[in-house]
Amino acid sequence: MSHFRTGAEPASEGEAIQILEQRKLTESSHAADATLTVDQFIDGLVTLGAVGAGVALTTPTAAQIVAALPGAMVGMSFDFIAVNADNDQVLTITPGSGVTGVGTLTVAAGKNRQFKGVITNVGTPAVKLLGLAALA
């Protein structure tokens, strides 16, 4: 089951949680600046290959993120992992409209970083993107 809305809202918070637990990891690869889709971003694994120049990937907007999560509510979260396979260049994650970055939003050459997105408002969609620990 996809984590995207299919036209019917979950009947309860429990049903929304069950839908979210069934989300699948979406992998994507980039070699140039791009704006990520919600599929690539929510529970996504993004890989940057050898590109010869730094790359900036922009997140979807907060409105797109909130709309994509069934039963979206304040405090709901999701994960995002960026893998920088380029040994010379930095990967930068740029927050889209309504998304606020907290912590480090760059991934050093040859490293990986985990991010956590947290919905902070659904009426006026807002998402906080936390740059967590760099991974090996």
Strand ranges in the chain using DSSP code E only, listed in sequence order: 26-30, 34-35, 44-48, 55-58, 77-84, 91-94, 99-103, 106-107, 112-121, 126-135
From 2-16, 21-35, 51-65, 87-101, the region with the lowest mean pLDDT: 2-16
Residue 44 pLDDT > 80: yes
**Residue 5 has which token pair?**
């809305």
Picking from 15, 7, 57, 10, the residue whose alpha carbon sits closest to that of residue 36 is 57
* Structural domains for the chain: 13-135 (2.60.120)
**What three-state secondary structure class fits 55?**
strand
Higher pLDDT, 86 or 61: 61
Residue 22 pLDDT > 60: no
**Residue 3 has which token pair?**
């984590």
Q: What is the pLDDT of residue 39?
A: 87
DSSP assignment letter at 65:
H
Q: What is the mean pLDDT of the chain?
A: 82
Higher pLDDT, 19 or 4: 19
Q: What is the dihedral sign for C-alpha 68, 72, 74, 78?
A: negative
Residue 92 pairs in a beta bridge with 56, 106
Mean pLDDT confidence for 115-120: 96
Residue 10 pLDDT > 90: no
Q: What is the pLDDT of residue 87?
A: 83
Q: How many CB atoms lie within 10 A of CB 120?
A: 17
* CB 19 within 8 Å of CB 73: no
pLDDT digits (tens, 9 = 90+) for 46-69: 888 767 778 899 999 999 999 999
